[in-house]
């Protein structure tokens, strides 16, 4: 039980950090905890990936509502607060920094830095696959950004 408590304390501390700033949790010595530990790593990845998807969807909807009312996209995400968003969404991969946004004429780019922890300026993760449906899938070892409307 002591091993389990120590492992859970380490995972709880990691959950409070951005995904890319988490520390490696030392595998426990006992077989039971060693067996269940990979489940927590997989779960944390799924939570971070899903959080980005939800935050991007919410932000895209706010951007479109703003565009319908104003006839333009905002210069920054701060213009969406408080009418369309309570606050600018924080990127789960970027240690408290907001999602990245850039207006391009009458279009925009919205992205998270993704699992590699590097801001690639909105260049999406590309797994190199020629398969049309798999090309921009977000995987834990992906290099590039998670771009709204491109990565899944």
> pTM for the whole thing?
0.77
> Using CA atoms, how far apart are residues 134 and 123, in angstroms rounded to an integer?
16
| Domain ranges for the chain | 2-147
pLDDT tier for residue 90 given thresholds of 50, 70 and 90: very high
The residue-averaged pLDDT of 12-41 equals: 71
Burial call 71-89: b when 16+ CB within 10 Å, e when fewer: eebbeebebbeeebbeebb
The residue-averaged pLDDT of 129-133 equals: 67
Query: Which strands, in side-by-side order, build the sheet including 107-112?
Result: 100-104, 107-112, 146-147
Of 142, 100, 141, 108, the residue nearest 125 (C-alpha): 142
Q: What is the DSSP string of 34-50?
A: HHHHHHHHHHHHHHHHH
> Using CA atoms, how far apart are residues 7 and 23, in angstroms rounded to an integer?
12
Query: Residue 17: what pLDDT?
Result: 72
Query: Residue 43: what pLDDT?
Result: 73
Of 101, 114, 47, the residue nearest 125 (C-alpha): 114
Res. 72: pLDDT tops 80: yes
> Using CA atoms, how far apart are residues 49 and 84, in angstroms rounded to an integer?
23
Q: Tokens 């039971």 sit at which residue? A: 32
Q: Which residue has better confidence, 108 or 35?
A: 108
The mean of the pLDDT values for the chain is 84
pLDDT tier for residue 149 given thresholds of 50, 70 and 90: confident
């Amino acid at each position: 039980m002591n091993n389990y408590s120590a492992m859970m304390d380490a995972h709880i501390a990691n959950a409070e950090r951005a995904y890319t700033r988490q520390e490696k949790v030392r595998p426990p010595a006992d077989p039971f905890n060693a067996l269940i530990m990979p489940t927590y790593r997989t779960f944390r990845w799924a939570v971070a990936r899903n959080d980005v998807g939800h935050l991007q969807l919410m932000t895209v909807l706010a951007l479109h509502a703003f565009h319908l009312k104003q006839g333009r996209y905002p210069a920054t995400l701060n213009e969406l607060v408080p009418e369309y968003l309570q606050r600018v969404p924080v990127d789960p991969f970027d240690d408290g920094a907001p999602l990245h946004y850039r207006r391009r004429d009458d279009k925009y780019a919205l992205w998270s830095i993704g699992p590699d922890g590097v801001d690639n300026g909105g260049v999406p993760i590309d797994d190199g696959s020629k398969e049309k449906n798999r090309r921009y899938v977000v995987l834990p070892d992906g290099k590039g950004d998670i771009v709204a409307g491109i990565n899944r």
